[in-house]
Amino acid sequence: MYPLKRNRRLRTSSAIRSLVQETAISPNDFLVPLFVVEGKTIKEEITSMPDYYRLSLDNLEKEVKELWQMGLKAILLFVKVPDTLKDNKGTEVLNENGLMQRAIKTVKNACPGMLVMTDVAFDPYSSFGHDGIVAEGRILNDETTELLAEMSVSHAKAGADFVAPSDMMDGRILAIREALEDEGFTDTGIMSYSAKYASAFYGPFRDALDSAPVDIKNVPKDKKTYQMDFSNRFEAIRETEMDIDEGADIVMIKPGLCYLDIVREIRNEVDVPVAVYQVSGEYAMVKAAAERGWLDHDAVMMEQLTAIKRAGANIIASYFAKDAVQLLG
């Protein structure tokens, strides 16, 4: 009771504030997304994601070595597939010498200790820009799931430590887990995008990979038949629990800031690690506002990252990872 208890006593100096701080960010919190392209000596800035780049394999090698020296120990790989290799059958996803497979090997050869997670999704390879096979105006679930399972095995053979299915097809976690077990990859983990919402925040990412749905007759114009309705809360818990039952080792909520209530709900319900993806639109907004002098880039960045961890995230996939770690010193 006031005045016997004065809460401000614990805020009187930076020393006491640090001593009683409940949430702290460290390099161990981060999963670093990396975009890979064909070619050599390519470090191409993504227009809608300032200070973030598409990297050819030689520059990917340099990047992972730098990340490791900074204390960043986990990456999430995405590939930008040439249009000539895209189709509606997933032909390229199983190419043992495909860009993703070569990227995995490049990282492991350059930095064996780096934890490599791979994006398991059809959209970078799809001529329609969808996460599944398209037929008669529908995204086929079971046929896509079979392909995702084969894709996961291909990534595991190349050396991936974890596969990260981001497609939101029903039953794909069980199919992937069974396929990995059948091929002897019992130690290969699955980080499932369990609650991935149909969000407007993905635009810059789709620019980075040229993976937006195409505007063609009889093809869905968005991903709302498989990604979740952002109005829904309990559905996220149901989706996540099902993924855990099917064999997911880590579950993910995507995007981040607008969904911190979902992060806390899921953290309270499950006993596996929870990841959050702070997505490209969230990154781009901070960069754009900071460029105009409307906010303090570093202060807002750290406030957002701390909020995500405070909400319950064990892992934060973020384009701010290097910026944050450099700021932490």
User: Using H for helix, E for strand and C for coil, what is the string for the chain?
Assistant: CCCCCCHHHHHCCHHHHHHCCCCCCCHHHEEEEEEECCCCCCEEEECCEEEEEEECHHHHHHHHHHHHHCCCCEEEEEECCCHHHCECCCHHHHCCCCHHHHHHHHHHHHCCCCEEEEEECCHHHECCCCCCEEECCEEEHHHHHHHHHHHHHHHHHHCCCEEEECCCCCCHHHHHHHHHHHCCCCCCEEEEEEEEECCHHHHHHHHHHCCCCCCCCCCCCCCCCCCECCCCCHHHHHHHHHHHHHCCCEEEEECCHHHHHHHHHHHHHCCCCEEEEECHHHHHHHHHHHHCCCCCHHHHHHHHHHHHHHHCCCEEEECCHHHHHHHHC
Q: Over range 112-140, report the average pLDDT.
A: 94
**Catalytic amino acids?**
196, 254
Q: Rounded CA gap, 41 and 50, in Å?
A: 19
Whether 2 has a pLDDT exceeding 80, the answer reads yes
For residue 293, with 0-12 CB atoms within 10 Å meaning exposed, 13-18 middle and 19 or more buried, which class applies? exposed
pLDDT band at 65 (very low <50, low <70, confident <90, very high): very high
- Quick one: pLDDT at residue 259? 98
| Residues present in the chain in total | 329
Q: Over range 75-95, report the average pLDDT.
A: 95
Whether 217 has a pLDDT exceeding 80, the answer reads no
pLDDT band at 306 (very low <50, low <70, confident <90, very high): very high
Cα within 13 Å of Cα(108), Cβ side: 17
Torsion sign across C-alpha atoms 48, 304, 117, 213: negative
Torsion sign across C-alpha atoms 133, 137, 140, 141: positive
Q: Over range 249-262, report the average pLDDT.
A: 98
Q: Rounded CA gap, 131 and 81, in Å?
A: 14
- Quick one: pLDDT at residue 108? 98
Q: Rounded CA gap, 312 and 310, in Å?
A: 5
- Quick one: pLDDT at residue 37? 97
Q: Kindly give, in sequence order, each residue whose CB lies less than 8 Å from that of residue 71, ignoring residues fewer than 6 positions away.
A: 27, 28, 325
Beta bridge partners of 78: 35
Whether 284 has a pLDDT exceeding 90, the answer reads yes
Phi, psi of 76 (to 5 degrees): -125, 115
Percent of the chain predicted with pLDDT > 90: 93
Contact 152/172 with Cβ under 8 angstroms?
A: no
pLDDT band at 18 (very low <50, low <70, confident <90, very high): very high
Closest CA to 308 of 257, 266, 234: 257
Mean pLDDT of the chain: 96
